[in-house]
Amino acid sequence: MDASRKLSENRSIRHQIEQLEQRFFVGREREIATFETYINDTSLPHRIINFYGTGGIGKSYLLNELRRRTLQQGVFFILIDSHDLVLTVESFCEHLLHLLCDVCEIERSTIQQERSSNVESCLHNIHKLIGQQRLVIALDTYEEMGSIDYWLRETFMGQLHQQVLFLVAGRIPLQNAWTANPAWARLILKVQLSDLDRASVVEYLDRCSLQEEQQGDVIWDISKGYPLTLSLLAAMADSTQTKQLYKMNEAEILPLVIKRWLLEVPEADLRLLVEAAAIARQFNQEFLAFIIGETISQQAFDQLIQLSFVKRIERGWMLHDMVRESIQRELRVRAPQRFETIRHNCILYYYEKIVGRIGIKQLGWETSELYYYVSGSMIRTMVYEESTFIVRFETLRYEELNEAREYIRKRKLDSKESVIKIFDPGVNRLVDYSISSELSILGLMALEKLDELFALGKDVLSIARNEQGETVGLSAMIPIHYKTLPFLMVEPFSRAYFHSLNEASIASLSVPEHDSAGWYNQIIDVVDFGNPALRNAAAYQLFNYLLAGELLVGSPPPLPYVYRVHELVGIEYIPEMYHYEYGAKFPATYYVVDTRKEKLAVFLDKLLTQAGISKRIKPNVTQKQNSRITELTPREQEIAIQLVEGSTNNEIATALFLSEISVKKHLTSIFRKFDVKNRTQLAKHLNQANKAAE
């Protein structure tokens, strides 16, 4: 690295944040010592150190501290957070190579010329870059990487040189497939992160300039060394307030502490930024300005990203998961309209990105982000009740086929009726759906050819487990390409659809194996659809494919609940095409979702309309008028719409969570841009624009 570049980086905000984070890092001596032992001795048996612990325990901060220490020793360290990825093999490989170029200070063009989308190319470049140099690859929030878990374990990690040390951090320890195989189990060293001891808490408070002994005693008694609560209490820095929390339990403390902290932020504008950032999964200055409809000064943005619970990630910044989730819950209750407005703007931001670039570039990242915000609404519709435990599907291994067979056997023996509640916006109330014991196991018929399904590809079958490790779900998603088409043409549940296609359509689906044309959803089954966590898992498994930019076909059992939910999320069925493979009493039809190329925009339009989200209206008016309208900021457009509807300044302020002074300032700006003098003239101009657009 040349001297000028190093000097520039040392003066950057990011460098200052790194220094502050290192200054406030305390404790974890045992974990650091363990890591440094493995860095210095490659003969030790473990190649994976698995740091795990509850949210807010400090896993990400520990990984960052290890990264800083490692780089100081001249060892390459790559930190990958699941939040930075579209969770596909191709995205992972591309992201890893991108980070390697940064760390190794190699020109990206050197890699780009040799890189293809396959894993062999990725592994080749890694070996070429590191040679015999020690390399650490850290995977953060690993619990979110379920869709590539099988590939990471069985293909990626298994083929890398022993010079590579893996750190895997998540809320739960590596288990199931990782520990079922004795060979893998021997390579894993599990390290559970616990709360900080009292000495570390005292040291942290001292670094925060909180040296009053009584104040320290109260903070210790409340936090018990739990890092997230500790940092928030230290931020409050008021012994009177902290004493009020003395007798509360942990579940009561976190929301109250965050609420109190928000009240202590001196500027109202900064509080609004924090709340908007909490609704966003991740953000940068442009995105945040779009979703709040206001220009954000560099000073205000710098204030935000320097807060202790805001962390830097590859594509921007994000709030700590626990803080973000707590603020979201509080906002849904206190300001539901503001919450929905900002969430809608998040959706619109990525919608406009996607629609504007279809056919120009790959849109995996933008589609993944849009999916996050849209699916949140869908999940709430499908699941309604919140679940305390997250269940996700992961790829089924050959060794687990017997476990899958046992799941099917027990499901048939123990079938029971389920009652499901969903919020149906069509009737604006909760609706109960009943699934009889007979109907609940119809989907298992699609899993009878388990061995044949497994043979179609390693990623066809997926398994879900609960907190106790028990199997609670099976899924079969068949990729559509030239190798699987013969099976799909004769398989009872899929053949009616594929036989209905003409030769040209079949030819378009007969693509190479590594470039599938889409997916056939054979079945997504869980042991009890009455369980919110299991419905959540089934929904996420479906949404992983729904916005993938490919063809998605399926024919689930004819359950009113499933059909209604599919309708609510924009899935349409082919009414004239039936089959009776679930039994003579249960005619089933097919759905087809085609999001390939330009068709993605059509589906997104329908999806947003179904979700009750209005897209921004950009009237097709004269060039002069249009140039003026596009000059309006998102917030000014919202105010203009309210004005046309006849709202007063006070009503606009209430609807958009602004002060009347802010509304007046925006109106002055709009008057200037439209060259008008008052509300009446502005309304006339806007009405003319709307008429021209009709």
Backbone φ, ψ for residue 582 (5° rounding): -85, -5
The domain made up of 623-693 has a fold known as: Arc Repressor Mutant, subunit A (1.10.10)
Indicate if 623-693 has the same CATH topology as 28-192: no
Residue 421 β-bridge partners? 432
The mean predicted confidence, pLDDT, of the chain is 78
Which letter does DSSP use for residue 283 in this model? B
pLDDT reported for residue 259: 64
What pLDDT, in 10s, does the model give residues 36-60? 998 888 788 888 999 988 777 888 8
Residue 22 or residue 66, greater confidence:
66
Position 524 pLDDT exceeds 90: yes
pLDDT reported for residue 659: 60
Position 114 pLDDT exceeds 60: no
Reported as a pLDDT band with limits 50, 70 and 90, residue 399 is confident
Rounded CA separation 624/291 (Å): 27
Q: Nearest to residue 554, comparing CAs of 473, 496, 483?
A: 496
Residue 516 or residue 448, greater confidence:
448
pLDDT over 70 percentage in the chain:
76
Rounded CA separation 472/465 (Å): 5
Position 525 pLDDT exceeds 90: yes
Position 116 pLDDT exceeds 50: no
- 28-192 to CATH, choices 3.40.50.720, 3.40.50.2000, 3.20.20.370, 3.40.50.300: 3.40.50.300
Residue that has been written with the tokens 């014991």 in this structure: 437
pLDDT reported for residue 625: 40
Position 372 pLDDT exceeds 80: no
Reported as a pLDDT band with limits 50, 70 and 90, residue 253 is low
Position 532 pLDDT exceeds 70: yes
Residue 432 β-bridge partners? 421
Residue 247 or residue 660, greater confidence:
660
Q: Which string of b and e fits 130-143 if b means at least 16 CB within 10 Å?
A: beeebbbbbbbbbe
Please classify residue 673 by burial: count the beta carbons closer than 10 Å to its beta carbon, then call 0-12 exposed, 13-18 middle and 19+ buried. middle
What pLDDT, in 10s, does the model give residues 153-199? 888 887 777 778 999 998 888 887 788 778 888 899 999 998 898 88
pLDDT reported for residue 115: 42
pTM (2 d.p.):
0.57
Position 8 pLDDT exceeds 80: no
What pLDDT, in 10s, does the model give residues 638-672? 788 778 777 888 777 766 555 677 678 788 888 88
Helix (H) or strand (E) holding 167: strand 164-170
Domain boundaries, the chain: 28-192, 377-610, 623-693
pLDDT over 90 percentage in the chain:
19
Whole-angstrom distance between the N-terminal and C-terminal Cα of the chain? 58
With both helix axes pointing from N to C terminus, report the angle between 198-207 and 13-24 in degrees, rounded to the nearest 10.
140
Structure tokens at 106: 């190699």
Averaged pLDDT, 317-331: 79
Q: Would you say 232 and 49 are in contact if contact means Cβ atoms under 8 Å apart?
A: no
Reported as a pLDDT band with limits 50, 70 and 90, residue 406 is very high
Position 610 pLDDT exceeds 50: yes
Residue 601 or residue 247, greater confidence:
601
Please give the order of strands across the beta sheet that includes 76-81. Answer: 76-81, 135-140, 164-170, 48-52, 188-192
Rounded CA separation 102/175 (Å): 33
pLDDT reported for residue 618: 38
Reported as a pLDDT band with limits 50, 70 and 90, residue 676 is confident
What pLDDT, in 10s, does the model give residues 192-238? 998 898 889 888 888 888 767 766 777 787 778 888 778 777 766 55
pLDDT reported for residue 205: 87
pLDDT reported for residue 15: 63
| DSSP code string of 15-48 | HHHHHHHHHH----HHHHHHHHHHHH-TTSS--E
pLDDT reported for residue 132: 59
pLDDT reported for residue 621: 33
Reported as a pLDDT band with limits 50, 70 and 90, residue 247 is low
Reported as a pLDDT band with limits 50, 70 and 90, residue 391 is confident
Which of 84-98, 248-262, 650-664 is the least confident region? 248-262
Q: Would you say 237 and 204 are in contact if contact means Cβ atoms under 8 Å apart?
A: no
Reported as a pLDDT band with limits 50, 70 and 90, residue 308 is low
Question: Looking at the domain that runs over 377-610, which CATH code has it been given?
Answer: 3.40.630.30
Reported as a pLDDT band with limits 50, 70 and 90, residue 570 is confident
